[in-house]
Chain A
């Protein structure tokens, strides 16, 4: 569909002895919306800074349009950045902030420098102010803007230069939920309309899924998985990805044959194959993929240990043979009731064992937390001792 624009090849970044990025391999397609997603400190900003030219990888190559650009300084790259804390110039007003890049003379074909005419600058700044909905704010000082407005100035200041690539480092981090959602749509719209490659950094998985063409899940300086939002959600590669993207129950299983996985000594139909016979695996079951049925009809039977009302649905914790699952359901099953569950083959996802096995996907602590909260509640049932 489109060509490769940026490539990180075996990029390693080390600060002193501290390896922050470990042999990152990443291809970014022209005009795509790619998101780097991962927990704090996993190396997202560092990756972005390598692309932007603010950091040179300790080893490995950065390619832009097939050309190695490791040593090209930031001001010579056709890449612009929206910084994590905006970094707007406090001594300039909104207009001059946006015009900053346009006022810099550019090298022309003959090796000379050309300045954009003032009318051209004015036209482009005005147009950009319209794109980010900030008409009438030209003369405002940066200090007189709200967080959301500052953020839009930062986007305009970068976009007005018509870069090939826009790097955005958690641009919505400081905004409230409502504004965040609006800006997500806005950014997506701008990216489509201007046909610019976006490399977007976030640690919010919902945001990543909603906005991206490609999601890159990172942890501890390594890329865990690259794929479309659907792939990442439906086919997580390991327990870390499964847990980081949405809620998951992750259970030890044994692959008895292609399409047959055994959990809690019961065999389930699934769609995965290609494993060794009797290979130990991690099985992911999303809380919304579980159907609750009367106990006698269930593939597994368990006891409800807690119920939380979440608006759209109830989050219930069910104890199966000592292992606690999170299940989302619209029908209320009271605490203490016995239920059965059924899982369709496409609701089961089998993963190879990894270094993350056993670390995620167990809701025992979740339900304990919940019980603590409810017993602290003076109206709750568990508070009899104090009366």
Chain B
């Protein structure tokens, strides 16, 4: 029985080794070696060099955090409300949420560019209704701000927040809510003491699924941040493909980012562990 199982697991193991373990190992080797070192001599140079990019680290995590929070603040109520409507409504709402995801990611982000530009759709609208005149400016700067980057992240990653939360709430055992009411809890308390804690696993996976791509994005920050909002993703890209070519530094940055993300997720999952177990039942 056991040998049979491992037989079936073989393709998976090979795949994991080729596509996950070996690349990570290569990355680690790169991170701990210098470009000019002839014989792969270990060095921490790449990591000490990273200090000058602290502001990029900070910005990346800050913007990703803000985007995640905004997604949560929008996503939770939306999921909650969707779960309480009829099945017909749920299908339509779900299709509408998924629809933008079936369009190309870059296309979506380019569209936002043309909306937010100084001469973009929004500013034209502001001009038409006299808002710019009122404020005494030619245009309201939107593109190239951190706000635009967050907007791009929220727009692109919101479905990843809504879906897991929705699927947890829709599966909540209705009798638990009745039990809470029976014991004297009003609607607000039922929400705080039962619905919210029981939907925490959905929140956790939503947060993970929004935060991780947000913190490592480069297209959004470059297109909507206009070069002023450079993030870790951009930095890494520059080390591999851009002018600042230095794959060793790029690998080191990637590694540090990965470690920080993994630690964040581990801490969060630790807090949510109890609830997660409970919902599995």
- Give A contacts to B, CB under 8 Å: 52, 54, 73-75, 79-81, 83, 85, 87-91, 100-101, 104, 106, 141-143, 157-158, 161
Q: Are A157 and B278 in contact (CB under 8 A)?
A: no
- Could you say which residues of chain B place their CB within 8 Å of the CB of A74? 178, 181-182
A37 to B180, CA, bound (A): 26
Q: Are B176 and A101 in contact (CB under 8 A)?
A: no
Q: Are A81 and B182 in contact (CB under 8 A)?
A: yes
With A83-B175, A104-B189: A52-B182 Cβ-Cβ less than 8 Å: yes
* B199-239 interface bits toward A, Cβ cutoff 8 Å, 1 = contact, 0 = none: 00000000000000000000000000000000000000000
Whose C-beta in chain A lies nearest to the C-beta of B200? Answer: A91
Q: Are A75 and B179 in contact (CB under 8 A)?
A: no
Q: Are B180 and A143 in contact (CB under 8 A)?
A: no
Whose C-beta in chain B lies nearest to the C-beta of A81? Answer: B182
- Could you say which residues of chain A place their CB within 8 Å of the CB of B176? 87, 89-90
- Could you say which residues of chain A place their CB within 8 Å of the CB of B194? 89, 91
Q: Which of B179, B180, B193, B198 has the most CB of A within 10 A?
A: B179
Q: Are B183 and A143 in contact (CB under 8 A)?
A: no
Whose C-beta in chain A lies nearest to the C-beta of B176? Answer: A87
A157 to B183, CA, bound (A): 8
A91 to B195, CA, bound (A): 10
Q: Are A90 and B193 in contact (CB under 8 A)?
A: no
Q: Are A85 and B184 in contact (CB under 8 A)?
A: no
Q: Name B's interface SS.
A: helix
Q: Are A143 and B278 in contact (CB under 8 A)?
A: yes
Whose C-beta in chain A lies nearest to the C-beta of B281? Answer: A143
Q: Are A161 and B198 in contact (CB under 8 A)?
A: no
Report the interface size for chain B: residues with CB under 8 A from the other chain.
23
A266 to B231, CA, bound (A): 102
Chain B, 166-192, CB within 8 A of any chain A CB: 173, 175-176, 178-186, 189
Q: Are B179 and A161 in contact (CB under 8 A)?
A: no
A360 to B278, CA, bound (A): 47
A360 to B182, CA, bound (A): 40
- Could you say which residues of chain B place their CB within 8 Å of the CB of A106? 184
A79 to B180, CA, bound (A): 13
A74 to B182, CA, bound (A): 5
- Is B197 engaged at the interface, CB distance under 8 Å to the other chain? yes
Q: Are B183 and A91 in contact (CB under 8 A)?
A: no
Q: Are B186 and A85 in contact (CB under 8 A)?
A: no
A141 to B281, CA, bound (A): 11
With A87-B173, A100-B193, A141-B278: A54-B180 Cβ-Cβ less than 8 Å: no
- Could you say which residues of chain A place their CB within 8 Å of the CB of B274? 91, 141
Chain B proximity of A12: nearest CB distance (Å): 22
- Could you say which residues of chain A place their CB within 8 Å of the CB of B275? 91
- Could you say which residues of chain B place their CB within 8 Å of the CB of A158? 182-183
A297 to B182, CA, bound (A): 62
- Is B267 engaged at the interface, CB distance under 8 Å to the other chain? no
With A143-B277, A143-B278: A87-B175 Cβ-Cβ less than 8 Å: yes
Q: Are A91 and B197 in contact (CB under 8 A)?
A: yes
* B240-281 interface bits toward A, Cβ cutoff 8 Å, 1 = contact, 0 = none: 000000000000000000000000000000000011011101
- Could you say which residues of chain A place their CB within 8 Å of the CB of B279? 90-91
- Could you say which residues of chain A place their CB within 8 Å of the CB of B179? 81, 83, 87-89
Q: Are B184 and A104 in contact (CB under 8 A)?
A: yes
The residue that B278 contacts in the complex, of A79, A80, A91, A100, with Cβ under 8 A, is A91
The residue that A161 contacts in the complex, of B180, B183, B189, B278, with Cβ under 8 A, is B183
Q: What are 18 A-B contacts defined by CB distance under 8 Å?
A: A54-B178, A74-B181, A79-B182, A81-B178, A81-B182, A87-B175, A87-B176, A87-B178, A90-B278, A90-B281, A91-B194, A91-B198, A100-B185, A106-B184, A142-B278, A157-B183, A158-B182, A161-B184
Whose C-beta in chain B lies nearest to the C-beta of A84? Answer: B175
- Could you say which residues of chain B place their CB within 8 Å of the CB of A91? 194, 197-198, 274-275, 278-279
A75 to B183, CA, bound (A): 6
Whose C-beta in chain B lies nearest to the C-beta of A79? Answer: B182
Q: Are B278 and A75 in contact (CB under 8 A)?
A: no
A157 to B179, CA, bound (A): 10
Q: Are A101 and B175 in contact (CB under 8 A)?
A: no
The residue that B185 contacts in the complex, of A80, A85, A88, A104, with Cβ under 8 A, is A104
Q: Which of A52, A73, A88, A89 has the most CB of B within 10 A?
A: A89
Chain B proximity of A242: nearest CB distance (Å): 35
A74 to B185, CA, bound (A): 9
Q: Are B197 and A100 in contact (CB under 8 A)?
A: no
Q: For the A-B complex with A81-B179, A83-B175 known, give 14 more contacts whose Cβ atoms are closer than 8 Å.
A: A54-B182, A73-B181, A74-B182, A75-B181, A75-B182, A79-B182, A81-B182, A85-B175, A88-B179, A90-B278, A91-B278, A101-B184, A106-B184, A158-B183
Q: Are B183 and A101 in contact (CB under 8 A)?
A: yes
- Could you say which residues of chain A place their CB within 8 Å of the CB of B186? 75
A141 to B180, CA, bound (A): 18
A114 to B180, CA, bound (A): 19
A79 to B112, CA, bound (A): 56
Whose C-beta in chain A lies nearest to the C-beta of B276? Answer: A91
A91 to B192, CA, bound (A): 12
- Could you say which residues of chain B place their CB within 8 Å of the CB of A100? 180, 183, 185, 193
Q: Are A90 and B198 in contact (CB under 8 A)?
A: yes
